[in-house]
Amino acid sequence: MAEPEKITITLDDSYISSVCDYSVGFLRFRKGEKEEFADPIGTGTFVKLGHVYGILTAGHVFKVLDPASTVGLVRFPSVQPPIQNRRLDLKNTDRIVDWNGKDGDAPDIAFLKIPEVDGRQIEAAGAVFYNLGIVREFKKSKPEHHKSVTHAVVGVVAEWTEQSAAEFGKGKKIVIGGLFGNALNLREFEEKGTKLVEADISHGPRIPGSHGGVSGGALWELHVELDAGKKFFAVNKRLRGVAFRESADHKRVTSNDTSSIDGMIAKIRKQWPQETKD
């Protein structure tokens, strides 16, 4: 029997643009003697369920976010916009947190409900909200086609933050570095009753010393269909997990698996039954 042919698929812009518009970084503000600083503290995914708009992230990201404070939101746009300066008043938000408060413990997942008006404004600015109410089952469009599945993690890398002078006027410009990393060698396992998935993260030429800031970022499952000419022409995506922990050597990232996301969807429906009706 002939061995199956191995086909290598490179993660390029067709992948990146398909998921980055869902992603957002959280910035915590602090004041210095003469200026304000913004520190990346985590990542999230824009999601919606019915008329409920929000951000899916890791529970421990909220550990350093005062519910009465203002947080900065930095998108991962496929088309670069002008300088971003969007702030969200957390006093106008609600949250559901599924985490026991101990660093590294699972599950570690949370949902930040934002006002619908903010959600629609963010959409108008080019962001995309992943619809949690849609069941995603991917099939080949033609029987003779092949299907391949790969995974990627998207998130802010805190150590890649840079500060420079603003292009116009006074003040400083903060440049936030983001990661789109190919997730390899997935290992599914269970920890204290919670299903998790761990993966090696493959980087480009720039390798971070730590994945600090990636917490709350999405683990995406990307489906590619290949025609007879071995060219892919469709990318379907499913939110597979939410990253919350990295290994001691900073090479592997662990995510809450799909069951934790399903559990959060059930809690959102229970908390806001009228707004989440189909």
276 inside domain: no
**Number of CB atoms found within 10 A of residue 83's CB:** 10
4 inside domain: no
Please check whether residue 252 is in contact with residue 264, taking contact to mean a CB–CB distance below 8 angstroms.
Answer: no
CA distance 83 to 174: 9
Token pair, residue 225, equals 């269909």
187 inside domain: yes
The DSSP 8-state label assigned to residue 163 in this structure reads E
CA distance 237 to 138: 9
233 inside domain: yes
Single-letter residue type at 139: K
8 inside domain: no
Residue 147's pLDDT is what?
80
Q: For the chain, 278 residues long, give each residue's pLDDT as a single digit of tens.
A: 445 555 555 555 666 677 888 999 998 888 766 677 778 889 999 999 999 999 999 999 999 888 999 998 988 766 565 557 789 999 999 999 999 999 999 999 999 999 999 999 999 988 899 999 998 887 777 787 778 888 999 888 777 767 666 555 556 666 677 778 888 899 999 999 999 999 998 876 677 777 778 899 999 998 888 777 666 666 789 999 999 999 998 889 999 999 999 999 999 999 999 999 86
Residue 233's pLDDT is what?
65
CA distance 219 to 222: 10
66 inside domain: yes
Residue 60 is part of which domain span?
Answer: 13-271
Reference 158, options 7, 257, 37; nearest CA is: 37
Total domains present in the chain: 1
215 inside domain: yes
6 inside domain: no
Residue 1's pLDDT is what?
47
CA distance 44 to 73: 10
